[in-house]
């Protein structure tokens, strides 16, 4: 990833990290403390911390002035400097960019600026730490060093926050498919179970197992198999209703918590999933392959006392679908002859070892 330009064109925004990779950081005591310390270290009446968590700068903490009064130019300008030293402007009224700003040309008549860019390890802009004064002045060597060291502390704190946020996101989302992971699936199951126990409203749990991904992995490699798994996951995601939770539970195993879904609705959903998954998959090599799916379904009843009870029933239904109705799906407690799902085979494979190959 390219580094931020150390000498950006006048008024040009720095290269900021993608919003998805940034933490949405609300005003907090840590950033306010950093702004206050910056003001003390530099003997200035005004200081602020701005973050680029949405691409554009937003002022998260300030002392000596209201954050809403600050112009985004104060956050952007620091990124014209070298990342190891603050950008210092001793007379703002004489500066071509800052001279016309309302806070410089009018009350409170700002005259001095020093800003440190906050960059991550790749040189991507995280934000700005800066100080302002109402008199023209400079910073001595100790003040410059103090502002630089403080910016390092703030940068490390922001990176730690981002790492924690990334870990939390990974815990809730499967990295390969983008579906929910096991944790939100279990949470949704518990919430729906408690709701049904109180109200008696039905809901349904589906356990799904794909067959064929391992064959693709063995025959075409991990990249093709992962691509096939992502495609099948996307097809299934298009079938579930808004509010239902589709999760990858591990490997080729999936689960769906169908909220407020009775048995009939679960059967409709299972049919849609089978129809979607059964469509051939086109690999990058040009080969047409396919997977088959087995689905076990269990509906909440008054006899269910825990989530593990419902999971066990869904697993039993899944095993029955695998054992008794190959390439079909099964509802716990009764037989349901679902739509057959076959692997996409070449003509030679379909002929069998004892049959003549087609012309």
Residue 218 maps to which CATH number? Answer: 3.30.70.270
Report d(CA 237, CA 241) in Å as an integer.
9
Residue 11 inside a domain? The answer is: no
Q: Cβ(351)–Cβ(358) under 8 Å?
A: yes
Residues 77 and 119 in one domain: yes
Residues 334 and 203 in one domain: yes
Per-residue pLDDT of 299-323, as tens digits, reads 999 889 899 999 999 999 998 888 7
* Chain-centre distance for alpha carbon 271: 30
Among candidate residues 232, 262, 255, 236, the one with its CA nearest the CA of residue 315: 255
Among candidate residues 10, 31, 17, the one with its CA nearest the CA of residue 87: 10
Residue 158 maps to which CATH number? Answer: 3.30.450.40
Residues 68 and 156 in one domain: yes
Report d(CA 222, CA 218) in Å as an integer.
8
Is the pLDDT at 264 greater than 70? The verdict is: yes
Is the pLDDT at 3 greater than 60? The verdict is: no
Residue 5 inside a domain? The answer is: no
Q: Give every CB contact of residue 53 below 8 A, 6+ residues apart in sequence.
A: 19, 22, 23, 24, 25, 127
pTM over the 0.75 mark: no
Candidate from 32-41, 74-83, 218-227, 346-355 with smallest mean pLDDT? 346-355
CB-side exposure of 36: number of CA atoms within 13 Å? 6
Neighbours of 355 (CB within 10 A): 9
Instruction: Tell me the average pLDDT across 138-148.
Output: 96
Q: What DSSP line would sit under 216-250, residue for residue?
A: HHHHH-HHHHHHHHHHHHHHHHTTSPTT-EEEEEE
User: Could you give the angle at the alpha carbon of 85 between the alpha carbons of 80 and 88, nearest 5°?
Assistant: 65
Residues 121 and 221 in one domain: no
Residues 31 and 126 in one domain: yes
Instruction: Tell me the average pLDDT across 279-308.
Output: 88
Give me the number of domains the chain comprises: 2
User: What pLDDT is recorded for position 14?
Assistant: 62
User: What pLDDT is recorded for position 333?
Assistant: 53
Question: 354 falls in which pLDDT band (50, 70, 90)?
Answer: very low
Question: 93 falls in which pLDDT band (50, 70, 90)?
Answer: very high
Question: 230 falls in which pLDDT band (50, 70, 90)?
Answer: very high
User: What pLDDT is recorded for position 332?
Assistant: 59
Residues 80 and 228 in one domain: no
User: What pLDDT is recorded for position 163?
Assistant: 83
Domain that holds residue 85: 19-169
Last residue of some domain: 147, 169, 191?
Answer: 169
Q: State which of 76-85, 141-150, 208-217, 301-310 shows the largest mean pLDDT.
A: 141-150
Residue 135 inside a domain? The answer is: yes
What's the mean per-residue pLDDT of the chain? 82
Per-residue pLDDT of 231-240, as tens digits, reads 999 999 999 9
Residue 176 inside a domain? The answer is: no
Question: 78 falls in which pLDDT band (50, 70, 90)?
Answer: very high
């Amino acid at each position: 990833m390219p580094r931020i330009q150390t000498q950006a064109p006048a008024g040009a925004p720095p290269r900021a990290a993608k919003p998805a990779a940034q933490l949405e950081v609300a005003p907090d005591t840590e950033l306010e403390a950093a702004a206050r310390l910056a003001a003390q270290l530099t003997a200035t009446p005004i200081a602020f911390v701005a973050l680029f968590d949405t691409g554009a700068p937003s002022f998260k903490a300030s002392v000596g002035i209201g954050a809403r009064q600050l112009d985004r130019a104060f956050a952007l300008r620091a990124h014209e400097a070298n990342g190891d030293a603050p950008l210092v402007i001793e007379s703002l009224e004489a500066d071509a960019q800052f001279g016309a700003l309302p806070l410089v040309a009018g009350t409170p008549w700002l005259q001095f600026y020093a800003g440190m860019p906050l960059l991550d390890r790749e040189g991507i802009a995280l934000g700005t730490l800066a100080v302002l004064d109402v008199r023209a002045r400079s910073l001595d060597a100790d003040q410059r060093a103090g502002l630089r060291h403080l910016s390092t502390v703030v940068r490390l704190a922001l990176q730690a926050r981002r790492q924690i946020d990334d870990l939390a996101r990974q815990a809730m989302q499967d990295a390969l498919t983008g579906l929910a992971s096991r944790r939100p699936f279990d949470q949704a199951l518990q919430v729906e179970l408690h709701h049904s126990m109180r109200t008696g409203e039905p809901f349904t749990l589906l356990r799904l197992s794909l067959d064929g991904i391992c064959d693709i992995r063995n025959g075409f490699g991990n990249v093709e198999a992962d691509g096939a798994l992502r495609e099948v996951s996307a097809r299934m995601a298009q079938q579930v209703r808004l509010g239902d939770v589709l999760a990858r539970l591990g490997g080729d195993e999936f689960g769906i918590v169908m909220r407020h879904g009775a048995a009939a609705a679960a059967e409709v959903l299972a049919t849609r999933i089978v129809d979607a998954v059964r469509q051939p998959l086109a690999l990058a090599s040009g080969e047409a392959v396919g997977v088959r799916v087995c689905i076990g379904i269990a509906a909440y009843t008054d006899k269910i006392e825990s989530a593990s009870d419902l999971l066990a029933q869904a697993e039993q239904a899944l095993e029955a679908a695998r054992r008794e109705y190959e390439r079909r799906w099964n509802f716990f407690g009764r037989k349901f002859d679902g739509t057959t799902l076959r692997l996409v085979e070449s003509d030679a494979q379909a002929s069998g070892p004892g049959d003549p190959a087609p012309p």
